[in-house]
Amino acid sequence: MENSRRKFLKTAGYSVLGVAAGSMLIGITPRSATTAEDSSGGPKYKSRDEALKAERWGLVIDTRKITSRINRSMQRACHREHNVPDFVRKLGSKQHEIKWIWPTPFKNAFIEQDLQYISDHLKRTEIPVLCNHCNHPPCVRVCPTQATFKRESDGLVLMDYHRCIGCRFCMAGCPYGARSFNYRDPREAIEEINPDFTLRTKGVVEKCNFCAERLARGESPACVEASNGALTYGDLEDASSDIRKLLAEYHAITRKAELGTLPSVFYII
């Protein structure tokens, strides 16, 4: 009730403001493709009973527990699960590389941090980076077709690969380099196709989807499972969740906090 009233007010407000003026405001308060569909009176789907739910999914990465072996197995788990092609191995060149999660030195993951005297562990170990599922995502703001959108129900930033026109505006908009473009047919470089997940075509962008398809089946994200306890996920809005407990106990940082994108991926240093 509360919700639909809010939606009504929102809609009415926008109509009054008029298309042009309203649109400028939308740019300030992000709105996603899904809200419009939810309120359209279309078919209502029940989510599966086994589905894991959260108000805002988040991830905490404990960099102290990360090893290069964990990095490798997380990437392998994610890329196998999601049919991510390995062009680097196939072609020996990084030009058409596609990656959803990958290890990188601390100084590259956190270019804005003070890097003068970082700890030995951070010098030695690479840390995993992936899409931050920003609460205020610039990639969604710039997408001209809403093919990239923020799912209001759980805060995940997701993509519709069938709507994406391949303009790559979202890649310019993402300040974390989290997105990849299919410069060619990905099937050339997928070792074994996972029939349970979509195959992309050439000409569309892709990125980490927080394993939305696994959450819907009641499973944890693949990288979390492969992380040997270094990664913890859960509901950021739920004060009793595991990740909120971790965040309450340790100081954690996010990448490029100064940009105001409000990442949902946190790093304990």
Partner 1 sequence: MLEKALSGSKTYYTLVLGLLVLIGIGFLFYLKQLDFGLGVTGMNRDVTWGFYIAQFTFLVGVAASAVMLVLPYYLHDHKEFGKMTVLGEFLAVSAVLMCLLFIIVDLGQPQRLLNVILYPTPQSMLFWDMIVLNGYLFLNIIIGWNVLSAEKEGVPPEKWLKPLIYLSIPFAVSIHTVTAFLYSGLPGRGFWLTAVLAPKFLASAFAAGPAFLILLSFILRKFTNFDVGKKPIQTLAMIVCYATIASLFLFFCEIFVTFYSQIPEHMDHKLYLFFGLDGKGALVPWMWTSLLMLISAAVLLVIPSGRKNEYVLGLACIFVFFGSWIDKGLGLISGGFIPNPLHEVNEYIPTVPEVLISLGVYAIGFLVLTILFKVVVGVKEEVRG
Q: Binding to partner 1 by residue 15, rule CB under 8 A?
A: no
Query: Alpha-carbon distance 190 to 199, whole Å?
Result: 10
Contact 55, 237 (CB under 8 A): yes
Residue from 56, 73, 118, 183 in contact with partner 1 (CB under 8 A): 183
The owner of tokens 């999914």 is: 57
> Which one, of 6, 5, 4, 26, lies nearest residue 14 by Cα?
26
Query: Alpha-carbon distance 231 to 34, whole Å?
Result: 29
Q: What residues numbered 203-242 form the site for ligand SF4, per CB under 6 A?
A: 205, 207-211, 221-223
CB of 256 to partner 1, least distance (A): 6
Angle at 102 between CA 62 and CA 195, to 5 degrees: 110
Per-residue x/- marks for partner 1, 120-159, CB under 8 A?
---------x--------x--xxxxxxx------------
Q: For ligand SF4, which is the closer residue by CB, 7 or 197?
A: 197
Q: Binding to ligand SF4 by residue 180, rule CB under 6 A?
A: no
CB of 5 to ligand SF4, least distance (A): 29
Query: Alpha-carbon distance 193 to 199, whole Å?
Result: 8
What SS3 class is residue 17?
helix
The binder of 203, among partner 1, ligand SF4, none, by C-beta within 5 to 8 A per type, is: partner 1
CB neighbours of 217 closer than 8 A, spacing ≥ 6?
48, 50, 51
Q: Binding to ligand SF4 by residue 198, rule CB under 6 A?
A: no
Q: For ligand SF4, which is the closer residue by CB, 82 or 200?
A: 82
The binder of 22, among ligand SF4, partner 1, none, by C-beta within 5 to 8 A per type, is: partner 1
Q: Binding to partner 1 by residue 257, rule CB under 8 A?
A: no
Segment 44-50 long-range contacts (CB within 8 Å, at least 24 positions apart): 47/216, 48/216, 48/217, 48/218, 50/217, 50/218
**Site residues, partner 1 (CB under 8 A):** 19-20, 22-24, 26-27, 30-31, 33, 94-98, 104, 107-109, 111-112, 129, 138, 141-147, 163-169, 171-177, 180-185, 201-205, 256, 259-261
